Structure 1
Amino acid sequence: MTNTFHATLLATLAFIISIALSACAQTKALDQGKPGKAFVADTSVIAIFNDRSKINFSSEELSLVDSILQQCINDYDLMNISAYKRQYVPAINDKGEKVVWVNCFCGTSRNWKKDLIVVNDGGSCYFNVTINLTSHKYENLIVNGVA
Structure 2
Amino acid sequence: MKIISVFLSLIIFLSFCKCQPTKKEKQDVLEAEHIYPYNEVNASIKFYDDSTYTFNIFQKSSYYKKNEKYSGKYLLEKDTIKFIDRGFQFLTCRIAVINNGFVEFIGGSAPLKLKITETSIKDEYAINSLDSSYALFSYHPNYYDFFSEKVKPYSLKKNDVLAINNLLELCISENNNRITHNVNSYTKQCVAVTNANNEIEVIIYCNCKDESKGFHYQITAVKDGCDCHFSVKLNLTKGKYSLLYINGSA
The 1:83/1:89 distance shift into structure 2, 3 A limit, reads: same
The alignment yields a C-alpha RMSD, in angstroms, of: 2.5
In the TM superposition, 1:1-147 aligns within 5 A as 40-43=129-132, 45-50=133-138, 52=140, 55-77=154-176, 78=179, 79-108=181-210, 109-147=212-250
Distance 1:133 1:51 in 2: 16
What are the ranges of 5 or more consecutive residues in structure 1 without an aligned counterpart? Answer: 1-23, 25-31, 33-37
Contact 1:39 1:63 in 2 (8 A): no
Post-superposition CA distance 1:115-141 (Å, at most 9, x none):
100011110000010110111100000
Tell me how far apart the structure 1 counterparts of residues 225 and 234 of structure 2 sit (CA, whole Å). Answer: 22
The SS at the match of 1:49 is strand
What is the CA distance between 1:54 and its match in structure 2? 5.2
Q: Is the 8 A contact 1:46 1:85 kept in 2?
A: yes
Paired amino acid for 1:145: G
How many residues are matched? 112
Q: Which whole-Å CA distance do the structure 1 matches of 2:224 and 2:204 have between them?
A: 17
**Contact 1:39–1:60 under 8 Å retained in 2:** no
Change (3 A) 1:40 1:51: farther
The structure with the greater share of residues assigned to helix is 1
1:40 positional shift: 2.5
Q: Distance in 1 between matches of 2:228 and 2:134?
A: 16
2:153–2:193: 8 Å Cα contact kept in structure 1? Answer: no
The structure where strand makes up a greater share of residues is 2
SS at match of 1:61: helix
Partner of 1:90: helix, strand, or coil? strand
The unaligned stretches of length 5 or more in structure 2 are 1-106, 108-124, 141-151
Distance across 2 between alignment mates of 1:84 and 1:119: 14
Could you tell me whether the CA contact under 8 Å between 2:188 and 2:205 is conserved in 1? yes
Q: Aligned partner of 1:67: which letter? A: N
1:131 and 1:47 map into 2 onto residues whose CA distance is 16
- Tell me what 2:72 maps to: none
Determine which structure has more spread, i.e. the larger CA radius of gyration. Answer: 2
Once the two structures are TM-superposed, the CA of residue 95 in structure 1 deviates from its matched residue by 3.6
User: Structure 1 residues 76, 116: CA separation in 2 closer, same or farther (over 3 Å shift)?
Assistant: same
Distance 1:140 1:71 in 2: 14
Q: Give the fraction of aligned pairs with identical amino acids, expressed as a percent.
A: 28
